[in-house]
Chain A
Amino acid sequence: MTERTIAVDYLTRVEGEGSLHVKLEDGRVEHVELRIFEPPRFFEAFLRGRMYTEAPDITARICGICPVAYQMSAVHAMEQAYGISVGGALRELRRLFYCGEWIESHALHVYLLHTPDFLGYPDAVRMAKDDPETVKRGLALKKAGNAVMQMLGGREIHPINVRVGGFYRVPSREELESLRPTLESALEIAEETVHFAAGLPFPDAEEDYEFVALQHPEEYAMNEGEIVSSRGVRVSASRFDEAFERAPVAYTHALQSVRKGGTPYLVGALARYALNGSQLSPRAKSIAREVGLEPVVRNPFRSILVRSIEMVYACEEALRLLSVYRPPETAWVEPTGEFHGGVGAAATEAPRGLLFHRYQLASDGRIEAAEIIAPTAQNQKRIEEDVRHVVERSLALDDAHLTALCERAIRNHDPCISCATHFLKLEVERA
């Protein structure tokens, strides 16, 4: 026996946090497992023992793309526990803040993650070589959304200006008005985006989703409303457990959410559009009609079109909110009366779907228990169903092409794990 040295000099890479295991038997899909192996991040444990006022800043760190969603669900839950009501200009600023996040997050997904799939590019960087204008449109929209987040949050990523009851500082009318040219230009680009997305080649698919989203009687819901489903659920966030449950599954680190009884459901842009589409602005509705977007979209590949419509809406809504803004007398509302402890729960609409928070608070305001249910965890089981159907339709493909198609089927739902463009390790067991 002799020894030799093999020089490798290989830098390990973070390839993503998900894998997909598909078992085929006699030409049938026997089993599909979407495994998310990102280790637990223990945010719910970090929150224990912290003051209720710290939750918006701690939970914002959960996601660099949708920190506003985490902040909003946190503050609404705390306000529910304390009985604080936030209305008027502060409520409108929160909605504007959320519009900024929807714009930047949807722009990222539509242009940098989803479009390359349709046009056959491995990623947006390579797409930019052939089609720089498309990528520039996406970046301009992202920048507009970021500008809103910067203005209201103090910075684009992990904002620092949100507090229970409102904001630490609110902008003047002039400051907010300075966003107008950027948002007007973003609205035009968002409209172009809808027409661009409508021209993409969509694979055939038709899924029987139970859509779940927040619904508000007077507006396309972002921050407030009841949780409703296309199959009759209607509950407040404090009654979340009456309609939904979640359980650990051996093969994945994410808890899987299901409707009571075990069936999967879908949150996100498709769900919002199906349940609340009639509350979009006249302009957003008219563009949707122009491009032939049906009132309920069941082809997940067409979600790119729905996100584009939501970008039009978010730009318009942001411009409307700029027009009506009058700075509030105080930047935040303080809790009044004695607090004896209790539970606060809230759900808001993160760009990728319903985000639920619940906190149990001690009488001194310390967090005794926290529960956070992210949109991707809720969609995980439903995504497995989508993938199963995609594989069933494409059994003849080799593993490389099947992997690409499965990645697309997962990316349709803008999951948190899609940040890694090539995240999927596909194992196909062909028996």
Chain B
Amino acid sequence: MHEEAMLQDLRRKLVEVTAREAAPRVVRVRLWLGALSHVSEEQLRREWPRIVDGTPAESAALDLTTSRDFEDPRAQGLVLVSLDVEESGSTNER
């Protein structure tokens, strides 16, 4: 019952990080999906275009790792691991 709230939070975080990093385009998004997450892998892949629609990650490849470890402390979660972003030469490096 909490899938939509989690996916909306993921979208919010993607927008926040890309704005903060001044990243105009995301090439790849790495996600880690816990074994006991409210969202299933199938559901996540199906909803992916809608989650990223209108964000800098719109055309990003989804790199999804699905855990089978019930004992993992984050087994119930969905983790935004990292983003590969494209940047122009003028972008400030951290």
Q: Which residues of A contact B (CB under 8 A)?
A: 1-17, 37-39, 41
Contacts and interface: CB of A to CB of B under 8 A. Distances in A.
Contact of A5 (B4, B10, B79, B82): B82
A4 B3 CA distance: 30
Contacts of A17: 2, 4-5
24 contacts: A1-B87, A3-B27, A3-B84, A4-B93, A5-B82, A5-B83, A5-B85, A6-B17, A6-B83, A6-B84, A8-B13, A8-B17, A9-B79, A9-B80, A9-B81, A10-B79, A12-B6, A12-B79, A14-B9, A14-B38, A15-B5, A38-B2, A38-B4, A41-B1
Does more than half of chain B's interface fall in helix, strand or loop, or is it mixed? mixed
Interface of B: 1-10, 13, 17, 21, 23, 27, 38, 74, 77-89, 93
A88 B78 CA distance: 52
B17 A4 contact: no
Nearest to B6: A12
Contact of B84 (A4, A15, A38, A39): A4
A38 B78 CA distance: 18
A138 B7 CA distance: 34
A1 B6 contact: no
A3 B13 contact: no
Given A1-B87, A2-B89, A11 B74 contact: yes
B86 A16 contact: no
A14 B38 CA distance: 10
A410 to B, nearest CB: 16
Contact of B6 (A6, A7, A8, A13): A13
Contact of B10 (A12, A16, A39): A12
B31 to A, nearest CB: 9
Contacts of A11: 74, 77-79
A15 B9 contact: yes
A10 B13 contact: yes
A16 B2 CA distance: 8
A8 B83 contact: yes
Given A10-B17, A11-B78, A39-B4, 9 more contacts: A2-B87, A4-B85, A6-B21, A9-B80, A12-B77, A16-B5, A17-B2, A37-B4, A39-B3
A26 to B, nearest CB: 29
The 3 tightest CB contacts between A and B, nearest first, are A14-B2, A12-B9, A10-B80
A10 B29 CA distance: 12
A12 B74 CA distance: 10
A16 B77 CA distance: 15
Given A1-B88, A12-B10, A13-B6, A38 B77 contact: no
A140 to B, nearest CB: 30
B82 A6 contact: yes
A9 B88 CA distance: 24
Nearest to A17: B5
A38 B82 contact: no
A9 B82 contact: yes
Nearest to B93: A4
B54 to A, nearest CB: 15
A39 B93 CA distance: 41
A22 to B, nearest CB: 19
Contacts of B82: 5-9
Contacts of A5: 82-85
A42 to B, nearest CB: 10
A12 B3 contact: no
Contacts of B87: 1-4
Contacts of A16: 5
B21 to A, nearest CB: 6
B18 to A, nearest CB: 8
A5 B82 CA distance: 7
Nearest to B34: A11
Nearest to A19: B8
A6 B85 CA distance: 7
A376 to B, nearest CB: 14
Nearest to B83: A6
A189 to B, nearest CB: 33
Contacts of A10: 13, 17, 79-80
Nearest to A13: B9
B81 A38 contact: no
Nearest to A18: B5
A29 B3 CA distance: 32
Contacts of A1: 86-88
A7 B10 contact: no
B87 to A, nearest CB: 6
Contacts of B9: 12-15
Contacts of A15: 5, 8-9
